[in-house]
Copies of this chain bind each other. A is one copy, B any other.
Amino acid sequence: MADHLSAVLDALDQSQDEALERLFELLRIKSISTDPAYKDECAAAAEWCARTLREIGFEASIRPTTGHPMVVGRSHREVPKGMPHVLFYGHYDVQPPDPLDLWTSPPFEPQLAEDPRNGTVIVARGAEDNKGQLMTFLEAARAWKQVAGELPVAVTVLLEGEEECGSPSLPQFLEKHAQEITCDVALVCDTTQWDKDTPGITTMLRGLAGGEVIVTGPNRDLHSGLYGGPAINPIRVLARMLAALHDDDGRVTVPGFYDGVAEVPSSQAEQWRRLGFDEKAFLGEVGLSVPAGEKGYTALEQLWARPTCELNGITGGYQGPGTKTVIPSRASAKITCRLVTGQDPEKITANLQKFLAERVPPDCTVEFTPAHGNAAISFDPDAPLVQAAAQALEDEWGRPAVLMGSGASIPIVTAFKTHLGMDSLLIGFGTDDDCIHSPNEKYNLTSFRKGTRSWARILQRLASV
């Protein structure tokens, strides 16, 4: 198969416009999984993916779940004896695009734009996370099929539609289809590179736990003149609860929160220092200058090796223009904790819930709805599959791939490990300034083009591990 590689790369270079148009088609579908109003759009995105897989030459089917469907595709009906078999995982769902008024172009009308630092970029919700990234793999597979008639390794593709809302249907699906889904390794394209010119493989991921807290006081909204003073104000109660979550050094105060959390080993800390992470540039990019996490840790340590407790949303009372002198009946906040190795998501959630419940004054009630959690995870950076992929990346980018941590959580990676005993290779082509989950999400055109070429090379390298 090695003979085919340069022809595959040429084919990718020659079909760039068609590849981009295919990505734009997918980006136009408003597959916002967390909002039930977009159920049909999620189904449409799944249909589109299945159709595309069949067009490439895969067998593909849509698998209903209690939520949004899974799409499963297979390059080989029977995997030839001795041929490696990899699972490619991606997700076709996206985050909500709000706040809409901050987008410079409509989030579901993909466009090319010029960016002073990154050159041409693709702008749309999902341009990077995860539609752009998953299409790098599908385009590589398409070129291999077209040029060589088959892929160098057997590939099963699993595309999920609930990644952005905690993957509620996933555990049951993996359990039911364990045999079909379990491969030698999973390829997961949902991460960033080290920087825009340097590839990376992520070997550490943080986990996630949390939920929504609702504080209710009076049984209805009250006039702040006629009741202000004697009537408890739920926003005030909620603010006091949330303010108590951190101490003045940025440490989370929930009892037991740091149970099982190890300090960064000095050898690893030293290795990370050598990466020359530009803290000032990283924060400066988003308008900040001082690492705001736990005192005594570098920004990279705060990001890769330390847990957090974040307030993702808060709401209560009047939020329109002008003044409304109301004491609201309720106020609520969405909280998520990023976890590191050693923390148990269920214990963290229970402790958080208890911490909040203990701070409810008389006449108020607190409801807590836990979100789906998952533990942190890490892989051996010296494993042969990791090294083979790293070499393929170096071949494409002309620089060694950095073996990185990530502050984000990818529940599927934990699920593959815990349910199927399968490791993952986390390779993505995003950059830190892609604005994923934010207005004006983009994907560098270079990420998309060199990403497809990278996968073409990785598939070939994996064939000989």
Residues of A within 8 A of B (CB): 33-36, 95-96, 98-99, 102, 164-166, 192, 206, 208, 210, 217-233, 235-236, 238-240, 242-246, 279, 282-283, 286-294, 299, 302-303, 306, 308, 310-328, 331, 333-334, 336, 338, 361-363, 371-372, 406-409, 432, 435-440
Which residue in B311, B363, B372, B407 is a CB contact (below 8 Å) of A288?
Answer: B363
Interface pair B283/A230, CB less than 8 Å apart: yes
Nearest CB of chain B from residue A132's CB, rounded to whole Å: 15
Q: Which residues of B contact A334 (CB under 8 A)?
A: 317-319, 323-324
- Quick one: which of A36, A239, A308 has the most chain B CB within 10 A? A239
Kindly provide the distance from the CB of A336 to the nearest chain B CB, expressed in whole angstroms: 5
Complex A-B: 17 CB contacts under 8 Å: A33-B322, A218-B288, A219-B286, A221-B439, A225-B338, A226-B303, A229-B302, A231-B288, A232-B292, A233-B311, A236-B311, A238-B314, A240-B243, A310-B327, A314-B317, A323-B372, A324-B334
Q: Which residues of B contact A245 (CB under 8 A)?
A: 236
Given known pairs A288-B217, A313-B235, the reply for A223 and B408 (CB within 8 Å) is yes
Please determine whether A289 and B336 come into contact, CB atoms closer than 8 angstroms.
Answer: no
Q: Is the CB of A231 within 8 A of B286?
A: yes
| B327 lies within 8 A of A312 (CB) | yes
CB pair A242–B235 under 8 Å, yes or no, is yes
Query: What's the number of copies of this chain in the assembled complex?
Result: 2
Interchain CA distance A86-B112 in the complex, whole Å: 69
Contact present for A320 and B34 (CB under 8 Å): yes
Given contacts A327-B312, A362-B289, A406-B226, contact A242 B231 (CB under 8 A): no
Nearest-neighbour CB distance to chain B for A237, whole angstroms, equals: 9
What is the minimal beta-carbon distance from A215 to any residue of chain B, in angstroms? 11
Q: Is the CB of A229 within 8 A of B312?
A: no
A165 to chain B: which residues have CB within 8 Å? 322-323
With both beta carbons as reference points, the residue of chain B lying nearest to A316 in the complex is identified as: B314
> A239 with B314: in contact, given A221-B438, A286-B219 (CB under 8 Å)?
yes
Quick one: given A220-B438, A227-B286, A230-B302, are A312 and B292 in contact (CB under 8 Å)? no
Which residues of B have CB within 8 Å of A99? 221
Q: How far is the CB of A308 from chain B (nearest CB, A)?
A: 4
Contacts of A437 in B (CB 8 A): 221-223, 324-326
Distance A322 CA – B38 CA, assembled complex (angstroms): 13
With beta carbons under 8 angstroms apart, the residue of B35, B239, B325, B432 that contacts A312 is B325
User: Is there contact, CB below 8 Å, between A323 and B34?
Assistant: yes
Q: Which residues of B contact A232 (CB under 8 A)?
A: 288, 290, 292
Bound CA span A36–B219, Å: 30
Query: Contact: B324 with A315, CB < 8 Å?
Result: no
Let me know if A293 and B230 touch, CB within 8 A: yes
CB neighbours of A302 from chain B (8 A): 229-230
Known contacts A36-B321, A98-B318, A166-B323; 7 additional CB pairs below 8 A are: A210-B323, A223-B438, A238-B239, A290-B363, A292-B363, A311-B317, A317-B334
With a cutoff of 8 Å between Cβ atoms, the chain B residues found around residue A210 in the complex are 323
Q: State the CA gap A229–B235 with chains docked (Å).
A: 25
Are the C-beta atoms of B315 and A319 separated by less than 8 Å?
yes
Instruction: List residues of chain B with CB within 8 A of the CB of A229.
Output: 291-294, 299, 302-303, 306, 308, 338, 407
Given A236-B246, A286-B218, are A313 and B321 neighbors across the interface (CB < 8 Å)? no
CB distance from A285 to the nearest CB of B (A): 9
Interchain CB contact under 8 A, A313 and B318: yes
